[in-house]
Amino acid sequence: MNKMKVLNLYYSTTGNTEKVAKKIEEAVKELGHEVDTVKITKKDTELDILQYDFVFVGSGVYMWLPGKPLQELFMSLLAKYNGTGDIKATSPKRPQSNAVVYCTYGGGHTGINEAIPTVKYMGQLFDHLGYNIIAEWYIVGEYVTED
Ligand SMILES: Cc1cc2nc3c(=O)[nH]c(=O)nc-3n(C[C@H](O)[C@H](O)[C@H](O)COP(=O)(O)O)c2cc1C
């Protein structure tokens, strides 16, 4: 397989998603690909998603959705790629570009249903850009509380 340029993008507040992201980084390196691991901390519109053939994106689930900083980043990236014309009507596929979207979640109330909106939300930016979403992972994470 050709050497790929992989983006490993994630948001994590209590460390569960970070553990998954670290494993992804290890596995991608082991397979001989190049990987940039980016933990979202604030709006970072410098991030150039389109230079990556393969993207992993993950977040914890907080009130059914990804973390606020991830949402803000995605809204600014959406605006950026609308502005550059990279998001086109009917979102034609970029055949070489793939994404895996995942979350870690507790599921204590409604199980996977309270995690589905998070993964669908994150997937939409890539869907709009024409990436093929080749997998969606729902990973049960430890519910870390202060007491
Ligand atoms: C403030 C808060 C809100 C949460 N809301 C949900 C939720 O709506 N649904 C759910 O399944 N899990 C929920 N959880 C559990 C987290 O999704 C789970 O612990 C996840 O693995 C956290 O990811 P992180 O450790 O990468 O931050 C919540 C956790 C916290 C701390």
Whether 12 lines ligand 1, by a CB cut-off of 6 Å, is: yes
Atom of ligand 1 nearest to the CA of 17: 26
What is the domain range of residue 115? Answer: 5-140
Residue with tokens 């994590």: 12
Higher pLDDT, 43 or 113: 113
pLDDT at 33: 97
Q: What global pTM score does this model have?
A: 0.96
Q: What is the number of structural domains in the chain?
A: 1
Whether 111 lines ligand 1, by a CB cut-off of 6 Å, is: no
Q: Is residue 120 part of a domain?
A: yes
**pLDDT digits over 63-117, tens only?**
999 999 999 999 999 999 999 999 999 999 999 999 999 999 999 999 999 999 9
Q: Is residue 147 part of a domain?
A: no
Q: Is residue 145 part of a domain?
A: no
Q: Is residue 38 part of a domain?
A: yes
Chain-centre distance for alpha carbon 76: 15
- Read off the CATH number of the domain in which 71 is found: 3.40.50.360
Q: Is residue 44 part of a domain?
A: yes
Q: Is residue 146 part of a domain?
A: no
Atom of ligand 1 nearest to the CA of 144: 19
Question: Using CB atoms within 10 A of its CB, is residue 23 exposed (0-12), middle (13-18) or buried (19+)?
Answer: exposed
State how far the alpha carbon of 52 is from the alpha carbons of 36, 47, 122, 145, in Å: 9, 11, 16, 36
